Amino acid sequence: MKPTKTKEVAFLKGQIRKALSGFYYIYADGQTYQTRARGNFRNRKITPLVGDEVMFESDSLIDGYLLEVFPRHNELVRPPVANVDQGVIVMSMVEPNFSYNLLDRFLVTLEEKEITPIIYLTKIDLLTGDETVKVADIQQVYGELYSVIAATSTGDEEAVRELEQFFPERLTVFMGQSGAGKSTLLNKISPDLQLATNEISEALGRGKHTTRHVELLPLFDGLVADTPGFSSIDFLEMETTELPKQFPEFVKAAHLCKFRECMHRKEPGCEVKALVETGEIAQTRYDNYLQFLSEIENRKPMYKKK
């Protein structure tokens, strides 16, 4: 009786680049392996995400098993991606109109996840001059805190090239207003994506959802999630004491506040309030902070299923 040959199983480290129909596609050493997760992941309440660094075993490119998910630096729900380095927030100037409140919601969410924000303004060429918010106003409020890129639909190659400089060696996700042009921008950055784009629904004044599975694509020596992310934000898990830490200009001033854990609301000797009075901290940022603080305080308690 001839001895049967046993397949050599290799144990490898890699990164999940795509998750689809129960399969995880892991990139390791220049190859992509199709794997399934071991059954104990469900028992351990672990859901592998695109972007996860993992250990897996495989005896071929199409037959492997995901064994372990290494600790994450962060994770997002929409799109479901882990270990994100930076988020491009796509905000329209018109159709839909620019919103300081929505932009600050995105910024707070990214700050809390330790994701570097990049603000990308679209549809500047559609401005008529009658709008209440101007590009210069936005640059004044955010220019010293974050990278702000302004683009027109007719001559935005320069803006796209500027954005591409941020991609190398980073995992980037896109998010922003519905209808602001997230999919369109991604298609311009990489025509191979051919993401589904929908025109704005005039009746609703916002875009239609064009979601699909998430895949990380190599672009400009980095990785980009090919699916636009969330277009609205609720602070479901953040605690009130965490909120002030998500405003960089508050953090910079806080050591001069009279009280150590100052919430910058009613406390005497608050440096943040003083800087709002002098205009060194934008009134819009402070007003949005107070609104977010109220939302967190008044939200209904969340009961997790046992």
281 CB contacts (<8 Å, ≥6 apart)? 249, 250, 253, 272, 275
Ramachandran quadrant class, 254 (left: phi over 0; alpha: psi -120 to 50; beta: rest): alpha
Please state the residue numbers annotated as binding site for GTP.
122-125, 176-184
Residue that has been written with the tokens 């996700």 in this structure: 173
**Which residue type is seen at 159?**
A
CA–CA separation, 246 and 60 (whole Å): 45
Per the annotation, where are the binding residues? 122-125, 176-184, 257, 262, 264, 270
The owner of tokens 């308690």 is 301
DSSP-assigned letter for residue 201 = B
Output Rg (C-alpha) for the chain, integer angstroms: 22
Length of the chain as a residue count: 306
Residues that constitute the known binding site for Zn(2+):
257, 262, 264, 270
By three-state DSSP, how is residue 139 classified? helix
Q: How far apart are CA 47 and CA 170, in angstroms?
A: 23
**Distance in angstroms (rounded) separating the CA atoms of residues 247 and 126:** 30
Distance CA 120, CA 5 (A): 57
Of 223, 217, 272, 279, nearest in space to 250 by CA: 272
Decide if 84 contacts 63 (C-beta within 8 A): no
